[in-house]
Amino acid sequence: MDINLLLARADTPGVKHVAHLNNAGASLPPKPVIDAVTDHLRLESELGPYEAAERAQAAVERGRGALADLIDCHGDELAMFESATRAWGAALSSIPLRPGDRVLISPMEYGSSYLAFLHLAHRTGAHVEVLPVDADGLVSAADLRDRVDERVKLIAMTHVPMHDGLIYPVASIGRVAREFEIPYLVDASQSVGQLPVDVREIGCDMLVGCGRKFLRGPRGTGFLYARRAFAEQLSPGAVGLDGVEWDGAGYRFARAARRFDTWETNYATRIGLGVAVDYAMSWGIENTWRRIRALAADLRRDLAGISGITVQDRGRERCGTIALTVHGHTAHRVRAELQRAGINSWVCLSNAACVDMRRRGLDSLLRVSVHYYNSVEELARLCNVLESLPVPAAVGAMS
């Protein structure tokens, strides 16, 4: 089924104000999400926040159920967090590691996630090894297989990085992890809501996601999936009420991933995330993915035809995130020009994708990222502004 663009845009008040091509940062929320968040804040102010939470308990739990349906897991395999970074930290701090253990990661990890690995190595004495990639920027499952030995205690991959259109072959890597029974953690912050993410198909033990990006949920929402039998063995680095069953004498962790839950949270955004997931599913993730892929492929082709622009993405299959450099202009300057023209984009600095960008000698990239609610006209406006940038003489003479 094709996405009904008129309906999608009518549901997205932000499109009247801006051409939003920063969906990999955070998407424009649709009306039902805006209403759910503001309605709950109003309810808190009228009933009292605790009383409003009691009234809205079903909506809060509905969110977890909706997410479980989306990624094909059980509700008790999900813990809710205020960011993907927090969920990632909770996952890493619960995996027992000893000096000399090996942790294999991709070079596409988000900056905070990579820092968490450095910290993990410092705390535990484990060796964190960044895997090599092929010409398309991908880790190969066959190469990974050759590197595995009994000291490997964790494999971690990012499904889609923040600074590139490539999509990692997380399911084929999952098969290697399963074969050797090595815990497998996947960062789906950029993929969930953009393309199908199915934890059973990926074969991961843990997966982290983010609400504000392609799911179009509120800011300050993230989650951790932990496979039930795997989660039952984990000892969270931090605990709180809701994550433990406590009788005053002793305590037991709550079942599966619920052990990561803490009592206090932002109810309005949690309800909003559930509504965002329901909304995403009402369009159909396959339909969303088909439109994003088509828009991005056309845009890449058009951008590549503009003098001075180099599309920097790699990957055999690419998603809605496009990274580029503009000869003779800094990414910050181009972003400012676009902003003046009412177009949102983003600058990825090398600290946010530190391993990969530094390896490739890239200090910064201009990122444009499309969602299904973007129109062809918005993308044409982007190309017009980029075409109108003054081309340095040497490039002009070459083209």
Ligand X SMILES: Cc1ncc(COP(=O)(O)O)c(C=O)c1O
Cα 141 to Cα 72: distance, rounded to the nearest angstrom: 24
Least spacing, CB of residue 157 vs ligand X, in Å: 11
Of 62-70, 182-190, 284-292, 336-344, the window that binds ligand X (rule: CB under 6 A) is 182-190
DSSP, residue by residue, 165-202: -B---HHHHHHHHHHTT--EEEE-TTTBTTB---HHHH
Measured from the CB atom, the residue of 113 and 345 that comes closer to ligand X is 113
In the set 95, 152, 162, 186, which binds ligand X (CB under 6 A)? 162
Residues near 53 by Cβ (< 8 Å), separated by ≥ 6? 44, 60, 267
Q: Is 173:220 a contact under the CB 8 Å cutoff?
A: no
Least spacing, CB of residue 24 vs ligand X, in Å: 7
Instruction: Restricting to residues 51-90, name those near ligand X by CB under 6 A.
Output: 83-85
Contact status: 189 vs ligand X (CB under 6 A):
yes
Residues near 190 by Cβ (< 8 Å), separated by ≥ 6? 24, 158, 159, 160, 161, 162, 210, 213, 214, 319, 321
- For helices 57-71 and 267-283, give the axis angle rounded to 10 degrees: 40
Contact status: 113 vs ligand X (CB under 6 A):
yes
Least spacing, CB of residue 25 vs ligand X, in Å: 7
Indicate left, alpha or beta for 156 from its phi (over 0: left) and psi (-120 to 50: alpha): beta
How deeply is 281 buried, as exposed, middle or buried, from its count of CB atoms within 10 A (0-12, 13-18, 19+)?
Answer: middle
Least spacing, CB of residue 162 vs ligand X, in Å: 3
Contact status: 357 vs ligand X (CB under 6 A):
no
CA nearest 170: which of 136, 134, 135, 207? 207
Least spacing, CB of residue 165 vs ligand X, in Å: 13
Six-digit token pair at 299?
Answer: 């845009």
Measured from the CB atom, the residue of 203 and 222 that comes closer to ligand X is 222
Contact status: 158 vs ligand X (CB under 6 A):
yes
Contact status: 350 vs ligand X (CB under 6 A):
no
Measured from the CB atom, the residue of 161 and 320 that comes closer to ligand X is 161
Neighbours of 203 (CB within 10 A): 20
Measured from the CB atom, the residue of 52 and 93 that comes closer to ligand X is 93
Contact status: 23 vs ligand X (CB under 6 A):
no
Measured from the CB atom, the residue of 12 and 189 that comes closer to ligand X is 189
Least spacing, CB of residue 166 vs ligand X, in Å: 12
Contact status: 195 vs ligand X (CB under 6 A):
no
In the set 44, 101, 164, 187, which binds ligand X (CB under 6 A)? 187
User: How many residues touch ligand X (CB under 6 A)?
Assistant: 14
What is the torsion angle, in degrees rounded to the nearest 10, for the CA atoms of residue 99, residue 100, residue 106 and residue 108?
40
In the set 34, 63, 110, 169, which binds ligand X (CB under 6 A)? 110
Contact status: 114 vs ligand X (CB under 6 A):
no
Measured from the CB atom, the residue of 12 and 83 that comes closer to ligand X is 83
Q: Is 68:274 a contact under the CB 8 Å cutoff?
A: no
Q: Contact positions toward ligand X, by CB under 6 A?
A: 83-85, 110, 112-113, 158, 161-162, 187, 189-190, 210, 222
